[in-house]
Amino acid sequence: MTIQPSRQDLTAQRYEDRNATLARELAPIEQITGRRPVAYPIKGDLLNLEVERANLLPVCRFLRDQLGFDLLSSISGVDMLDHLEAVYHVRAISKKQVLQFRVRIDARNPEVESVVSIWPGANWLEREVYDLFGIRFLGHPDLRRILLDDDFEGYPLLKSFQAMPPVVKDPATTQVGPNMAIESRFQTEGYESAVVPRVGQGMEERLHPGTPTFGHTQESYQKHASREKAIPEGESAAHPEE
Q: What mean pLDDT is predicted for residues 166-171?
A: 64
d(Cα 29, Cα 34) in Å, to the nearest integer?
8
Per-residue HEC secondary structure of 124-179 comes to HHHHHHHHHHCCEEECCCCCCCCCCCCCCCCCCCCCCCCCCCCCCCCCCCCCCCHH
Whether the per-residue pLDDT at 205 is higher than 90: the answer is no
What's residue 18's pLDDT?
86
The residue type of 219 is E
What's residue 1's pLDDT?
54
What's residue 225's pLDDT?
47
d(Cα 215, Cα 213) in Å, to the nearest integer?
7
CATH level 2 (architecture), domain 7-138: 2-Layer Sandwich (3.30)
Q: What mean pLDDT is predicted for residues 127-135?
A: 98
Rg of the chain, C-alpha, whole Å: 38
pLDDT tens-digit profile of 41-90?
Answer: 988 779 999 999 999 999 999 999 999 999 999 999 999 999 999 999 99
DSSP string over 102-122: EEEE-SSS-EEE--TTT-TTH
Whether the per-residue pLDDT at 218 is higher than 60: the answer is no
Per-residue HEC secondary structure of 163-174 comes to CCCCCCCCCCCC
The residue type of 19 is N
d(Cα 136, Cα 108) in Å, to the nearest integer?
12
pLDDT tens-digit profile of 148-164?
Answer: 999 999 999 999 998 77
d(Cα 238, Cα 96) in Å, to the nearest integer?
84
What's residue 43's pLDDT?
81
Whether the per-residue pLDDT at 239 is higher than 60: the answer is no
pLDDT tens-digit profile of 91-110?
Answer: 999 988 999 999 999 999 99
- Name the average pLDDT for the chain: 80
What's residue 102's pLDDT?
97
Contacting residues for 216 by C-beta, under 8 A, at least 6 apart: 190, 192, 222
Q: State the first-to-last Cα distance of the chain, in angstroms, to the nearest integer.
A: 104
DSSP class of residue 213 equals: S
Q: What mean pLDDT is predicted for residues 33-38?
A: 94
What's residue 164's pLDDT?
73
Whether the per-residue pLDDT at 147 is higher than 90: the answer is yes
d(Cα 17, Cα 28) in Å, to the nearest integer?
19
CATH 3.30.460.80 domain span(s) along the chain: 7-138
Are β-strands 46-51 and 97-105 bridged in parallel, bridged antiparallel, or unpaired? parallel
